[in-house]
Amino acid sequence: MRSWWNRLSNTGRMLVYGGVMAVLIFGVAPAVWAGTVDSAQRGADATSSAVEVIETTPRPTTASTPEPTATPVTVVRTEQTRRALGFTTRNVDDARRAVGTKAVTQAGVAGREVTTVEVTLVDGVEKSRRVLSVITEVKPVERIVSVGTKQPDPAPVAPAPQAAAGGCDTNYSGACVPIASDVDCAGGSGNGPAYVQGPVTVVGSDIYGLDRDGDGVGCES
């Protein structure tokens, strides 16, 4: 319990103080002092009873809860792509083929290449792409072309007339036609330098023009 003095209001305390001073100064009777003190006590009680003590219950404070952060969804997958590999062409000399000619002796075949790639996606959006491997599934086959290098055979040379025994030209039979730069019929208008006494039969080429009428017999007269 608090002492009655501590329970006095400022007004009550002034009254008590004033009463004490009156007793000391004017010699007021003890009854007056008692009444003053009693009045002050009642004032203090009235003041104390007028004070209402309100007790409050502390409320717990609610801290704001942060919204959860979405965790990114990461997906890693592999992709494969295929592409054709072109073939090369190689020419080779072929001595069995005529020069200026060529032919495909081996057809070219395209190959195939496979590329494997790792793709990373975050929330469905592509973030990175990395090549894992490049493999040749089918090797290309080269195309071979044979180019002819064979030169044409030289044209045959006509053989020179063969002289028979005794120096007679084998293009004629019957009389012996000598082999010379020119032969005419004896007794004719020709100027030789060689002559033959006919008749002669043309069995080959009439190289000297002895058969003038073309009947196969020369120097008939």
Residue closest to 129 by CA, chosen among 139, 140, 115: 115
Q: pLDDT by residue for the chain (221 residues), tens digit each? A: 456 666 667 776 777 667 667 656 665 444 444 454 455 455 545 444 444 545 566 666 666 677 778 899 999 999 999 999 999 999 999 999 999 999 999 999 999 999 999 999 999 999 999 999 999 999 999 999 999 999 998 888 655 555 445 588 999 988 899 988 899 988 877 788 888 888 899 998 999 988 888 888 988 87
Q: What is the pTM of this model?
A: 0.38
Residue closest to 163 by CA, chosen among 197, 187, 198, 194: 194
| Spans of all domains in the chain | 4-49, 74-150, 163-221
Please state which of the four CATH numbers 3.40.50.300, 2.40.110.10, 2.20.230.10, 3.40.630.30 is assigned to the domain occupying 74-150: 2.20.230.10
Instruction: Output the six-digit token pair for 20.
Output: 């004490």
Beta strands 200-202; 172-174: pairing state: antiparallel
